[in-house]
Amino acid sequence: MRTISENKCFGGVQGVYAHPSEATGCEMTFGLFLPAEAAQGPVPVLWYLSGLTCTHENAMTKAGAQKWAAEAGIALVFPDTSPRGEGVANDPAYDLGQGAGFYVNATQDPWAPHFKMWDYVAEELPRIVTAAFDIDEDRQAITGHSMGGHGALTLAMRLPGRFRSVSAFAPIANPTASDWGRKQFTAYLGADEGKWLDHDATHLMRELGFDGEVLIDQGASDQFLDLLRPEALSQAMAARRQPGTFRMQAGYDHSYFFVSTFIPDHIAFHAEALWR
């Protein structure tokens, strides 16, 4: 692993690191914020999965999360959203290929050789991060925005016991019924829709739920509401009696202005679960 940068930030360190990845077969870059408390011993961690077109950098620079993570004594990890580089397949569309990994393990060509983002964020990167930094693997939580909200919810529900809490900002909530999902799952996973269900937060909420609290924020003026389908997830949460909160935030759109407005609430929500 090599250090790309480290900057002091709210008493802690905002770092960017790169490492060769077995899962994706290319070099992967991630951001990590460690609060000052990490110098005294392992700290809890909140994973932040990003949305379409993002790298590790967008949330790290635009979400304003470090202030609140520093106050709560929580580390933040910002993974990239796909494999990248020469020899890695891509597509001209913004919503397929590089920057659009959708947190699945691709089984179809040309994506299968590198697009193993599920394995990367669920297994490989956690191993690397907990081995190299003072992170307490027993106290993890996860959040994400848009495609990253989809990733956060699907990881949290399919890895019971891993995360104490899960939240999402404007998640792609029901991708098997959306053009943000059907196109990508067809490309990455093939035409058999039965294989898509493990990556649909609404389906997983109906079938599994989450063993802890869930917090969802959705902007009511989000320009992508028809693609996100928040009503499907909201219905599934209530029908399952899933402990949690679903908030429709008047006037907010899909941008990082929305995320940064509500990130303090989300970090406070996770801190309560992580420090309990």
Characterize the bridge pairing of strands 244-249 and 213-219: parallel
Tell me how crowded residue 196 is: count the other CB atoms within 10 A of its CB: 21
Q: Is 261 in the site for a copy of itself (CB under 8 A)?
A: no
7 near 18, Cβ under 8 Å?
A: no
* Catalytic member of 146, 165, 167, 178: 146
Phi, psi of 233 (to 5 degrees): -70, -40
| Binding segment (CB under 8 A) for a copy of itself, from list 62-70, 148-156, 176-184, 219-227 | 219-227
Q: Is 223 in the site for a copy of itself (CB under 8 A)?
A: no
146 is catalytic: yes
Q: Is 186 in the site for a copy of itself (CB under 8 A)?
A: no
Among residues 61 and 245, whose Cβ is nearest to a copy of itself? 245
221 is catalytic: no
| Nearest residue to 47 via CA among 212, 267, 208 | 267
| Nearest residue to 101 via CA among 61, 154, 64 | 154
| Nearest residue to 29 via CA among 8, 6, 53, 3 | 3
Q: Is 213 in the site for a copy of itself (CB under 8 A)?
A: yes
Could you give the CA distance from residue 95 to residue 54 in angstroms, rounded to a whole number? 11
Among residues 43 and 232, whose Cβ is nearest to a copy of itself? 232
DSSP string, 182-240: HHHHHHHH-S-GGGGGGG-HHHHHHHT--SSEEEEEEETT-TTHHHH-HHHHHHHHHHH
Tell me which of 90, 186, 235, 255 binds a copy of itself, using CB under 8 A: 235
222 is catalytic: yes
Nearby residues of 8 by Cβ (< 8 Å), 6 or more positions away: 14
Q: Is 1 in the site for a copy of itself (CB under 8 A)?
A: no
Q: Is 220 in the site for a copy of itself (CB under 8 A)?
A: yes
Q: How many residues bind a copy of itself (CB under 8 A)?
A: 26
Among residues 9 and 248, whose Cβ is nearest to a copy of itself? 248
Could you give the CA distance from residue 126 to residue 136 in angstroms, rounded to a whole number? 11
| Binding segment (CB under 8 A) for a copy of itself, from list 12-20, 29-37, 183-191, 244-252 | 244-252
| Binding segment (CB under 8 A) for a copy of itself, from list 55-63, 94-102, 138-146, 238-246 | 238-246
Residues in contact with a copy of itself by CB under 8 A are 213, 218, 220-221, 225, 230-239, 241-251
Residues annotated as catalytic (active site), given as ranges = 146, 222, 254
